[in-house]
A and B are shown apart, each in its own frame.
Chain A
Amino acid sequence: MSLTTDLSRSTTRPGTNKSRAGTGATQAPRRRTRQRRERIFQWLFLVPAVVYMALFFGYPVVKNVVMSFQDYTTATFFTGEAPWVGFANYVTVLSSSLFSTSLLNTVLFTAGSILGQFVIGLALAIFFQRKFPLNGILRSLLLLPWLLPLIVSSAVWRWILDKDSGALNRFLGDLGLIHTGIPWLTSTSLALIAVVGVNIWIGIPFNLTILYGGLQEIPDELYEAGSLDGATGWKAFRHITWPMLRPVVSVVLVLGVVYTLKVLDIILGLTNGGPANSTQTIATQSYDLSFHEFKFGEGAALGNVLVIISLVFAVLYLRASRRAVDE
């Protein structure tokens, strides 16, 4: 196996010999065999994870690329044949009128969700920096929306936003603000806004937690020094908090974008992409193509478009996280 040859070549690596420093250094060949055995053992700890990652992440990515160039349909399951079609799937998917709708919805859904989650999450994180009784308990209770299964949140919100008996419309009605129910989820102009609103609600705890952690890392002395120079309130935020928090902010934003791009549960649970595709995103459309229309090739092509968009942000993420670790 190439694995073992590769390992035997790297017998003199720092940091691994410490435990053997005291044992007889005279028998070099014997020691080398022992070191090789040692390395094989070390790899065995890692092998299950590598195999799993290869099967459940590596394989799907490769398979999706292959499928996206094939006419892969339900018939394939019976005949076993999936003819090569070149870029036909990509052409079909990208030139369909639905694609521009999904792309725009994806951008609006992602940008709206991130903006809302981040601003509210940051505001709450700053608020919870104050020392007051019950701070810890209240802050951890705020995590609940994040821990609930997404489909549960979708079901609850679907009812709260119901036109006729939903809690939101009844509340607005009781205040005298509206007289007829607002069709939050069934109107083409409101559905996307409603879905974004729910996704903001789900994302606030995550943003709050990470940003709060970042704020805790900023040394108090900076604020004390700042206040001597007259930097308090907004000035302190602009000149101390924001620059110091930047690495954490970039991680939160990029992770948020990557997670939001692939959201499926919330949209399927709330609107199923409707009404009239007004909440259809690239992710939901890819699901539709594969699992409702059984055009697996086209679904794979659209999925790959999503992967490419995510990868752009992944690169940003890796750069951001490296910077966060460095600093």
Chain B
Amino acid sequence: MATQLTAPTRRRNTSTAVTNRRNWGYTALAIFFLAIMLFPVYWMVNASLQPNGTTLETSWIPLKPDFTGYATAISEQGGNLGTSLIISLGSVVLSLAIAAPAAYALAYFKVRGAGVVLFAILISQMIPGIVVANALYTAYNDLGLLNSIPGLILADSAHGIPFAILIIRAFMNGMPSSVIEAARVDGAGHVRAFWSIVIPLSRNSLITAGLFTFLFAWSDFLFALTLTTTEAVRPVTLGIFQYIGAYVNDWSSVMATAVLASIPAIVLLVAAQKYIAAGTTGGAVK
């Protein structure tokens, strides 16, 4: 194991057995920190499995799991979950379609104005969502885009597109340019070279950007709150807000909805582990 190989080099005088025992002590401490940090997540799952009605004294452990909370959540919020899914997938498609070529242009062509575009992307991340929402509301009102799925897809991509450009560009910067040049010499046009060489090579960065774009759109609350005014189009985040806005007497349904709304985050964490590290650091520092 890696720990046995590397640990003794730092503390040469301690025997492997002692080092190992101390290391497991750190593991225990880390689990303790994790337990504190993840308690709210545990509490959400626990509460979602408690029987309805008697929420005043929720037991610490769901000894008798009860799924009525989930039944209520699906019947009341199922449509909103579907709406969120459509909007998030739409946002992924739109964001990647716009960001991938842009990232390619910024990484390869050194076009005039590339610096300005990158600067604009950095600045765009500083603009408060409320400022965007304020202006979009009046524009959407004129264009008839309020309460529409395309309207929300367009707005939700405002978070995904700049992020995706940064992530994909950082990756493409490290791609060997000889591969593309070879294709160009063989007579492939820009679009061909991009589509059949650059895109397949950048698959991992596209997946990372796509996953995060999905999560951003899925988590969006501000645009859902300001750009929808009727029940016609209602993402699940807004559904949860309306649940907790009213006097809550059925926390198990609210928590069941919260668990269902957390599924993309949990899937991302468990199934797409290797893409997360690239995403968390790539967008922020580079």
Contacts and interface: CB of A to CB of B under 8 A. Distances in A.
Q: Do the two shown chains form a genuine complex with each other?
A: yes
Interface of A: 6-7, 10, 13, 15-16, 18-19, 22, 38-39, 41-46, 48-50, 52-53, 56-61, 63-64, 67, 72, 76-77, 124, 127-128, 130-135, 138-145, 147-160, 164-165, 167, 201, 204, 206, 209-210, 213, 248, 251-252, 255, 258, 261-262, 264-265, 268-269, 272, 283, 286-287, 290-291, 296, 299-300, 303-304, 306-307, 310-311, 313-314, 317-318, 321, 324
Contacts of A204: 37
Nearest to A14: B110
A18 B181 CA distance: 8
B130 A213 contact: no
Interface of B: 1-3, 6-7, 23-27, 29-31, 33-34, 37-41, 43-44, 47, 55-58, 97-99, 101-102, 104-106, 109-112, 114, 117, 120-139, 141, 154-155, 157-158, 161-162, 165, 177, 181, 184-185, 190, 194, 215, 218-219, 221-222, 225-226, 237, 240-241, 243-245, 248, 251, 254-255, 258, 261-262, 265-266, 268-269, 273, 276-277, 280-281, 284-285
A149 B219 contact: yes
Given A144-B41, A262-B129, A303-B128, A53 B162 contact: yes
Nearest to A82: B138
Contacts of A19: 181, 184-185
30 contacts: A7-B112, A43-B111, A48-B98, A49-B98, A53-B117, A53-B124, A57-B123, A67-B138, A76-B138, A127-B30, A128-B30, A132-B23, A133-B23, A133-B27, A143-B269, A144-B265, A152-B237, A155-B255, A156-B41, A164-B56, A204-B37, A248-B285, A268-B241, A286-B134, A296-B137, A306-B130, A310-B127, A314-B123, A314-B126, A317-B122
Contacts of A76: 138
Contacts of A124: 33
Contacts of B130: 262, 264, 283, 286-287, 290, 299, 303, 306
B139 A59 contact: yes
B154 A130 contact: no
Interface-centre pick from B44, B109, B121, B128 (highest chain A CB count, 10 A) = B128
A151 B41 contact: no
A290 to B, nearest CB: 5
Contacts of B219: 148-151
Contacts of A314: 122-123, 126
A275 to B, nearest CB: 15
B261 A134 contact: no
A310 B30 CA distance: 36
B101 A45 contact: yes
Contacts of A255: 284
Contacts of A58: 120
A268 B129 CA distance: 14
A158 B244 contact: yes
A160 B24 CA distance: 32
Nearest to A285: B130
Contact of B136 (A10, A39, A60, A209): A60
Contacts of A128: 30
Given A15-B110, A149-B262, A60 B7 contact: no
Interface-centre pick from B31, B138, B269 (highest chain A CB count, 10 A) = B138
Interface-centre pick from B56, B109, B162 (highest chain A CB count, 10 A) = B109
A127 B30 CA distance: 8
B210 to A, nearest CB: 15
A307 B184 contact: no
A210 B285 contact: yes
Nearest to B226: A291
A50 B116 CA distance: 10
A16 to B, nearest CB: 6
Given A52-B157, A251-B284, A264-B130, 11 more contacts: A57-B158, A60-B127, A77-B141, A133-B24, A145-B41, A155-B244, A165-B56, A209-B280, A268-B221, A290-B137, A299-B130
Given A48-B101, A290-B134, A53 B244 contact: no
A167 B177 CA distance: 57
Contacts of B6: 131
Interface-centre pick from A60, A213, A306 (highest chain B CB count, 10 A) = A60
Contacts of B251: 159
A303 B134 contact: yes
8 nearest CB pairs, A to B? A49-B102, A60-B135, A149-B219, A262-B128, A63-B135, A147-B265, A132-B26, A45-B105
B240 to A, nearest CB: 5
A117 B90 CA distance: 33
Contacts of B276: 140, 143
